Each structure stands twice: as structure tokens, then as C-alpha cells.
Structure 1
Amino acid sequence: MTEAETSAVEAASRSKTDLVIVTGVSGGGRSTVARALENVGYYVVDNLPQALMVQMAELAHEAGGAARQTAMVLDVRSRAFSTDLAGAVKALRERGFAPRVVFVDADDDVLIRRFENVRRSHPLQGNGRLSDGIAAERELLAEARDLADVVIDTSHLNVNQLRSRVEELFAGEDALKLRVTVLSFGFKYGLPPDADFVLDARFLPNPFWVPELRDHTGRDSDVSRYVLGQRGAATFVETYARLINATAPGFEREGKRYLTVAVGCTGGKHRSVAIAEELARRLRELRVVASAQHRDLGRE
């Protein structure tokens, strides 16, 4: 076997090592993500210096077994952390690895509240304000966020919801296929920052104005029938299901593994929830890996 053939075989072997790189803002939920990955079988290395990423990947590859699923958690508090995450990922890919980058984020006001609740200072705060540390960290991590395969915004997620989201993304034999999250939300609470597509369901009559439906949600059958029975609703769902199904193979070829389709209505309780559930169901019928999540359900 020639040297080129040997290298090709080694690269193909390394591509079977499932590597996940987790980074993101302090207070965003990296520790919860790490624990969730452990729950679905990953060997997790926390606070890994970025300079050791390639060596860790090689060790995981050589060890085989359970180490073939390895997650590396990077933290700006590590003295060995650098901003060249893109260079490190490129080096891994040149060796035949196919790492997936997860970036955990949250709104500034949420981060401030979390730090104040635990009475801790931000690791980059120094003698400045908490907001100064958050801003400095965002600047440091800007490239890492742009590089991410999936951004998980934890602003409105509790620990259990975040763990469930991670397990849905990384558990099971379909982990390397495009995974679609259909996320309902309320426009009055703001757009989801991690959305790839934003759909507007406010063209449909609002069940809020139907007294017997007001206190129910889009998960309830009466509300779902009402929303989906409106003129244009079925066409709306079918059109977007076909669009996502048609583009899924292209996203997979380009290496995109996660797609967030956000469906909004006024408050995120009735129309968007019903449409999100139905769109996810329709996508599964088309053999697309899809699940529905509801960001603002219960906030009213």
C-alpha cells in the first residue's frame, strides 16, 4: 500500500470518531450540555486547552470503544484558550476528523441575572462591570459562534429543557443526518437568535379570541383542529415541509447537521405551537429527522 493510500485509509478511520466541540458564553449552560452528552454516551473532557484538541482527538481515535464518541468542552477561563478555533477545527479536518461545533449562548440580561443569582463575577470582568466581562467574552468568541454547526440559545430554557434538546440532537443512529428542530415562539418575546428560517403564522385567525379555546394551547386537539382547519393552514405546512425536505440533502452535503425552523405567532401559545407540531410530524413522514420545541409555551 502506498503512502497516499495509507493516509486515505487512516483519514477514513478517523472520520468514524464522533467528535463534538462545545464552547460558548460563560453562564450559557456548557456544564449542562456536557452532562447531557455524557448521558447519551460521550466521553467528555472539560476545560480542555485548545492547543491539545488534536492530541485529544488522536487519543480518542486510538482508544476506540467508548472514546470513539468524545466531546471537548472549551472555556475562555483556560489560560491555553486562543481565539483561533477555526484553525484548530481545520487541523482536525485535515487529519480526517469531522468535528461538530456546538455554541451555547444566552441574552445578556439573562446572563447578568444568572451571575447575580449565584453571586459570582464574570471570568473576564476584572475590575469592571459584569456587562463589561460579557462584552469582552462575546468579542473573544465571535469567530467561534460563526463557526458553530449548531447554536443553542438557552435564554428561555431550564436545565431539563436544555438537556432534552442536547439528547435529541446527539442521541441515536441518525446523529449524522440533518436534524430539524421546529421551534414555536411568540413575536412579542423576540425572534429566536438561533433560527435558520422564520415562519409567520399570524395570518391565521387567533384562537385567543375564541373563549372556549383561549386557555388551551396548540398542543390540545381542539386548538390544533381549529388552527389547521383554517384556510391556507394546510398549504402553509405542506409548502414548508416540501421546501425543507427538498433542501435537506444539500444541507447534508455541505456538512450542516442542524436546522432550526422557527414558527411564530403573537404569544407562542396557540397558532405557532399547532403549526410547529404539525410541520414536525409532516417532516417525519417525509423521513426527515424532526422534532418540535416550544420556546414560549407557558410564559403568558
Structure 2
Amino acid sequence: MSDILTSSPALGPLLARGALLSPLKRPRPDAAVPATRLVLPGVRVDLARLAAYERVCGFATGADALPLTYPHVLGFPLAMRIMAGRTFPLPLLGLVHTSIEITRRRELAATAAYELAVHVAGLAPHRRGTEATVVTEARTEGGLVWESRSTYLARHGRKNRNRDHTTDTPDAPHRPPDAEHLPALPALAEWRLAGDVGRRYGVASGDRNPIHLYPLTARLFGFPRAIAHGMWTVARCLAAQQLGESVCVRAEFKTPVLLPGTVTYAADGGRFELRGGERVHLRGETRALPDRAARVPENSA
């Protein structure tokens, strides 16, 4: 079942609605998920907002091409509309973005029009609670050109922890090898992050979650000071790389980046990390798509 939207939802009211409904939800991995697929056709990119996004994330500006992570920004209001709704079983308050996998089949022009679609693929047990997978797709001229799978964790107690384990299924996203058993990545750069990074990214992306804005608003949610957006950390790392036109990226968000702060960017052979001392904030991997996967589009359902 697809619901066709005429405009992108406003994030502020959705955050408020999700916060109000959160205490009423009791997350569990066997809960039903919304069957709705939200579709927003004819999406055009605001080039001034895109330039602001490119600047705060470290991408080059001026080219007629979207950064690899930018369709997530375009589709995020649709995802929030689903996750803030009554039928979404996990509480929005406290929901943690744990990973993202992005597949770009070809370069996306900044001046093109896109059809965005978002749906919830399902729930899965996690050692700390229940995880939801949210799929975002971008199409142009009827073909699928970009897609992502984001996982969001709701923490809660589990009755049978002995059976709590995560296993890959045939349609699970690609996962990088266990990085704990691979050689340490060489440090390539040290980035000093200003205290306003969260506010600047919030303006460019529309995601003004209070945990990213000011020390006071972050402390209300248990953080000692504001933290960087997870999607900013992965975008900043990808901006430092030379990526092919057709590529798949998977990143796992490990620990928050406190603002202001200093982080180390490390990368080698497709693997990359963002570290703060001995703590790993972000770990990911990039890989080129086979020619056939990049060449053959998937038509809309």
C-alpha cells in the first residue's frame, strides 16, 4: 500500500508528535510494522541548502552531482512521518541510529527530479532491545538509482537473553568483516570539531534534534554536551574519499562524538573509521558495485 504525498513533511511537528506518543509504546521484536509505503514524486533539490550541506560536511561545492549521503536528507522527513506515527511500534524518544547501508547505482544530478519512497522493512531482536530497518529509495525516469537501509534501535529489557543473537538472513545487508580482527587502520587526518557543527548540520539537513544543538538541550537527554549527528560523521568521512560512480557503503555508528571535540579519520583499502583516542565512533566500508548491478535499473513496483 503506497501513500502518495504532495510535499515533504515538516520535521518539527513530527518530532513533537513522536515524543508525545513514545511513552505509549511497548517495543518488542514480534510487533507488527506499518505496511504503508510513503512516496513523494517530483522532488527537486534546493541548491542553496545543498551547498550549505556540502560545506558543513566537507564535500566540494558547485558540481551538478548529489553527495552520496544527500538522498538520505531528502527522504528523512518521510521516514520520520512513519516513525512518529501511532502504528510504528518503537518509541521515537531514545531511538538510536545504529547503521546505514547506501547503494548508489550511478551519479545523481543535483538538478534532476526524483521520486522518493520510504517503508519499514521489518523488526529484528537485538542484544539491547529491538531494531527496525527503514528503507529509502530514490528513482528517476522510473529507475532505482539510490537506496539505503537504516537500522534504528529501541533499547529495552529482553526476557530470554540466551536466545538473543543477531544472524544475517538471505536479504540482510552486506556486513563488513569483523574489524576487531583486522589490522589497525592508518590515521590520515585529525579534525577539530567546533561546538556549532550540530547546529550547522541541523540547518542544512533539517534535523534539529535537541541532542545535537546545545549542551543544555543535550543534557536533558543524558549527554554531557551536544553530540554530532551520526549522518554527519559518515558524510564527513565519505567527503574525504574518492568514490566511484556506482558504489555501496555500509557504516556502523558506535559511540557519540561530543562537541566541541577532536577526532581522527583513518582509512585504508575501502575500510574507514572515525576515532576519538581509543574510542571508535564510526566504522565503515566502501566497495564498488559490479558493472551489471550499476547498469541495470530496477523499475518501480
Please classify the TM superposition score into its range, dividing by the shorter chain length.
under 0.3
More helix by share: 1
So what's the TM-score if we normalise by structure 1? 0.27
**Structure with a larger share of its residues in strand:** 2
